[in-house]
Each structure stands twice: as C-alpha cells, then as structure tokens.
A and B are shown apart, each in its own frame.
Chain A
C-alpha cells in the first residue's frame, strides 16, 4: 500500500524554483530515501510533505491526508525530525520527552521510548550536555513519541562521527522494524545504501531516478574491475579468452582486469592455473556514487 504519494510537486521561492515536478510514492513499512546534494530541494520536498510549507503546485497525500488542507490531522500521524533543530539548552532529556508526549492524544510511553533510543541513562542530563549523536537520538525519540505512522528524518547524521552515525542507523532500522514508515533525507551515499529500501535521487529540484540502491547501481552498468600485482608475468591472451573478461590494462606493476559476471573467481582460477599469485587483490564494483555521477553528471561530496 502506498502511504505517501507525491505527484508533480512544485515549489518556488522568490528568486528560484526549489522543487520542479517531483513525484514519488512511499510504501507502507519501507525506508524511502531522498538523496541529493545540498540545495537540491530535498528539505523543501519533505517540508511540503510534513505540512510545514505550502506547495505551489501538485498533489500530496499522506495516508490519504492532504498536508496543506488537513494539517491538524497530519500532525497526529506524522512525526518529524527537522534539519538542525535544537532544544533549549537547559531542558532535561526526560522533560523534553514528557512535554512532547503531552502534545499528542495517544502518546507512546516516553520512558520506554528513551530506553529504545538509548538515552535512559541520560534522562536527567541537560540538552546542552548531550553529544551530537545523543541529540539526534533524542530528536528521533521526540519524532516518535506521538506514535506516528510516518517518520520524516532530515539529515539525521550530518556532523556525527562514524560511530555515532552507525548507532543512529541502527536506531532507524529499529524504527522501521516497529512498523513505522520512514522518509529519510540524506546527502550521504553510504547512509542511503545501508538504510534505504528505495531511493529517489534528486538534483536541482528534479527527480533523476527512483529505484532500490542495487537497481540504481545496475542502471549504470554491471562493470567490475579486479586489480592485483601478479607474482610473475601473466599470459594476457589466456585471460582475455575468458568470457567474463572485457579488457586488461597495465598500471605500473599492477594489472587491471575489467569485465562482468563472476569476474573475480574466473580471473583468480585462471591465474592459479598459470601458478601466478595475485598479490594485493582488490575487487572494484560500481557503487551508488558511480550511479549518482552517471545519473546527474555530478559528484556528491561526502
């Protein structure tokens, strides 16, 4: 079932068009990613979905609710963690949870929720004393305290160190496991690849492609490369004869074999028959990065 439907969304600010003809739909229970560089219109899109901005054109439905005309109903089923939104410095973790729980007609038990986001030990800490990762986990907790059907998470891990980022990712997977549909905005490839069931690649206010991470990678080709330093000179003709191999390149003492299918096992087997050891063997496959580059002509700095 489609829980979120966005059809031909348009949003213009005074000096430029932020979102142009964006359409996508999110199925119930999935983690749907919106991936793109800064200024691509990701945040504007989810703000329209969350009922925080009025759209200039197109239609949006969240569980049948129009975010613009029925904001009050939307607020009860959609929880949002907004980009870089903080809390007062001197509020305690439990006070924030307790306060936000009081905003909803049928809130979750915030004590249990604090446990789930891993902040129970920190319940008496002031917001200002929390680390970046803890603040984000509290943010996720606040977005979930109203038992939403949909959680919108915008730039959840920006500015976090790798460990904190991984912790937050685990939390998002847990959220989905609890039946909440997640709309995730990110400019991190790794995050999209790791978390999302499907990804919309957005660039300059338009959707460049929508697919699973694997599907997006497949769109740019299945080419793989195997790099190694052979222990002895290689009979290149024998390797080229393999159906998996397309080309061979030399770079100093390194050999770069490119091709498709089961390339790496085929190459190593052939080398073994020649009694050659492939030192420093590395297998390179297309990543979401390559897909992004191919689809938008831009590199996504991470």
Chain B
C-alpha cells in the first residue's frame, strides 16, 4: 500500500498543472480579491461581516475541494478504468480497490494542504482570523470533503472515459459552486435559492465552514444533509463502480 501511495503521489505531482488549480488558483483568488479595497470593510448587508472574514476564505476552500472532487478524482479514476489500469491490477494479488483508496487519500491530503496554505497565507497577508471553533471546523471539513469525494466517485463510476468524467464533473461543479455562494453570498440569495442551497451538500458544507470559522455552531440541518450526502453518494458509488 505504501508503494501504491508513493507512486500515485508522484503521478499527481507530475500532473502539476492540475495542482496549480487546486492550490494556486484559490490562493491567488483569496489574496487578489482579499486585497481589493472595501472587501475588508464590514458590510451591513451580510450582518456586519466583511467579505474577507469568513465568506471569501471559505469559498476558496470549497473551490479547491470541488476541483479535487469533481475534476481531478473522477478524471483520474475513469481514465484508469478506460485504459485498463484497474483491470491489469485485478490480475495481480492486490485488489484495484487499493488504488482507489490511495487516490482518495491523496485527494484528501491535497485538500488539507490547500486548506493549510489558504489559512496560513490568508492570515499572514490579509490578517484573516483562524477558525474560531477549530474542532467543529475540522469535523465539518472532513465530513464535507468526504461527501464531495463520494459525489466525485459516482461521477467516475458512470463515466466511460476520462474525458466524459471531466465534462460531467464541470457540468455538476459549476451549479454547485453557484448555490454554495461562490458568486452571490448566501445572505444575499433570494429565499428559494437559499432553500436549494441548504440541500445541495455543497451549500451546507460552505455555510458550516463559515459558521465554524466565525465561531458559531454549524446548523443541524447542514450536518444532516452532509451525512446523508456522504451515505447516499458513497453507497451509489459502491454499487455503480466497475473495475472494467
């Protein structure tokens, strides 16, 4: 397992343009948008919070994780199946499930690294506060990431080729980013949109990240939606995934 992890990690590092999207783009956006004058001022429309307090950093964390779950993971796995990598492995004593596990772990690790970079650089450059409820924040982060990766696995399961997976991933990713509040903060959404957001897995994830970042507890509804998402999509992925 160690060797599989190491090899897969090397392969990820060789695909560095994708990593640029996962780590570089959110960081660049955070620092770029965060230094726009006025974004640091308290905004009465969002209850006196400034954009950079929790909204922008949480959105950038979501952007990084969604890129991993909807673009990187499904494309890699579907391509592995398309190219017969999984099939070849099933002729050896080691089950290809180990390869899938390695991919999940690496994507999780990349998510953690991206989070770390965002929090540390945000603090140094923009003076963003550290998450005020660290324990809740970590819990939400792990739960939400797992739910997103489960959705990514379903995409990998139903896509015949790596290219289809990539296309389908983007198709799902952009509406989810929208309802998560990437372009319109949740506070400014009309109520029907906020309701959709509340049940979209990505929406609850983003909101719960912001809540714990700001020091309040995540809403129970949001935690439940994430758990249900993880169970449903995880179960679907297990049922639908084919090794060849």
1/0 contact trace for A72-90 toward B, CB 8 Å? 1001101110101111101
Whether the pair A52, B90 counts as a contact (CB closer than 8 A) is yes
Candidates A75, A78, A85, A90; contact of B11 at CB < 8 Å: A90
Please tell me if B4 contacts chain A, counting CB pairs below 8 Å: yes
Candidates A52, A87, A99, A105; contact of B3 at CB < 8 Å: A99
Interface residues of B in 160-201 (CB under 8 A from A): none
Minimum CB–CB distance for B107 against chain A, Å: 16
Whether the pair A85, B93 counts as a contact (CB closer than 8 A) is no
Whether the pair B85, A82 counts as a contact (CB closer than 8 A) is no
Whether the pair B84, A91 counts as a contact (CB closer than 8 A) is no
Interface residues of A in 42-93 (CB under 8 A from B): 50, 52, 72, 75-76, 78-80, 82, 84-88, 90-91
Please tell me if B219 contacts chain A, counting CB pairs below 8 Å: no
Which A residues are in CB contact (< 8 Å) with B15? 90
Q: How many angstroms from the CA of A86 to the CA of B162 in the assembled complex?
A: 14
Whether the pair A86, B85 counts as a contact (CB closer than 8 A) is yes
Minimum CB–CB distance for A184 against chain B, Å: 16
Q: How many angstroms from the CA of A124 to the CA of B89 in the assembled complex?
A: 22
Q: How many angstroms from the CA of A91 to the CA of B13 in the assembled complex?
A: 11
Given A88-B11, A90-B15, A99-B7, A82 and B93 touching (CB < 8 A)? no
Whether the pair B84, A75 counts as a contact (CB closer than 8 A) is no
Minimum CB–CB distance for B211 against chain A, Å: 40
Whether the pair A104, B92 counts as a contact (CB closer than 8 A) is yes
Please tell me if A95 contacts chain B, counting CB pairs below 8 Å: yes
**How many A residues face the partner with a CB closer than 8 A?**
27
Q: How many angstroms from the CA of A75 to the CA of B95 in the assembled complex?
A: 10
Whether the pair A75, B93 counts as a contact (CB closer than 8 A) is yes
Minimum CB–CB distance for B43 against chain A, Å: 45
Task: Tell me if A's interface is mostly helix, strand, loop or mixed.
Answer: loop
Minimum CB–CB distance for B81 against chain A, Å: 11
Candidates A52, A72, A79, A99; contact of B87 at CB < 8 Å: A52
Q: How many angstroms from the CA of A170 to the CA of B10 in the assembled complex?
A: 34
**How many B residues face the partner with a CB closer than 8 A?**
21
Minimum CB–CB distance for B13 against chain A, Å: 9
Whether the pair B3, A98 counts as a contact (CB closer than 8 A) is yes
Q: Which of B85, B92, B244: most chain A Cβ within 10 A?
A: B92
Given A75-B91, A84-B84, A142-B88, A102 and B11 touching (CB < 8 A)? no
Please tell me if A205 contacts chain B, counting CB pairs below 8 Å: no
Candidates B80, B92, B244; contact of A103 at CB < 8 Å: B92
Whether the pair A50, B91 counts as a contact (CB closer than 8 A) is yes
Please tell me if B45 contacts chain A, counting CB pairs below 8 Å: no
Interface residues of B in 82-105 (CB under 8 A from A): 83-85, 87-94
In the complex, the chain B residue whose C-beta lies closest to that of A78 is: B91
Which A residues are in CB contact (< 8 Å) with B10? 95
Q: How many angstroms from the CA of A86 to the CA of B94 in the assembled complex?
A: 17
Please tell me if A146 contacts chain B, counting CB pairs below 8 Å: yes
Please tell me if A100 contacts chain B, counting CB pairs below 8 Å: yes
Minimum CB–CB distance for B20 against chain A, Å: 16
Whether the pair B92, A100 counts as a contact (CB closer than 8 A) is yes
Minimum CB–CB distance for B165 against chain A, Å: 15
Whether the pair B87, A75 counts as a contact (CB closer than 8 A) is no
Q: How many angstroms from the CA of A181 to the CA of B15 in the assembled complex?
A: 39
Given A86-B83, A87-B83, A87-B85, A52 and B91 touching (CB < 8 A)? yes
Q: Which of A52, A88, A104, A105: most chain B Cβ within 10 A?
A: A88
Which A residues are in CB contact (< 8 Å) with B239? none
Which A residues are in CB contact (< 8 Å) with B84? 82, 84-86
1/0 contact trace for A88-132 toward B, CB 8 Å? 101100010011101111000000000000000000000000000
Given A82-B84, A86-B84, A86-B85, A91 and B92 touching (CB < 8 A)? no
Given A90-B14, A99-B7, A76 and B88 touching (CB < 8 A)? no
In the complex, the chain A residue whose C-beta lies closest to that of B79 is: A88
Q: How many angstroms from the CA of A76 to the CA of B94 in the assembled complex?
A: 10
Minimum CB–CB distance for B117 against chain A, Å: 24
Which A residues are in CB contact (< 8 Å) with B89? 103
Whether the pair B11, A103 counts as a contact (CB closer than 8 A) is no
Which A residues are in CB contact (< 8 Å) with B11? 88, 90-91
Which A residues are in CB contact (< 8 Å) with B244? 52
Q: Which of B4, B93, B94: most chain A Cβ within 10 A?
A: B93
Interface residues of B in 1-22 (CB under 8 A from A): 3-4, 7, 10-11, 14-15
Given A75-B92, A76-B93, A102 and B3 touching (CB < 8 A)? yes
In the complex, the chain B residue whose C-beta lies closest to that of A83 is: B84
Minimum CB–CB distance for B9 against chain A, Å: 11
Q: How many angstroms from the CA of A52 to the CA of B86 in the assembled complex?
A: 12
Known A-B contacts: A52-B90, A76-B93, A85-B85. Give 5 more (CB < 8 A): A79-B91, A82-B88, A95-B10, A98-B3, A146-B93
The residues of B with any CB-CB pair to A shorter than 8 Å are 3-4, 7, 10-11, 14-15, 79-80, 83-85, 87-94, 244
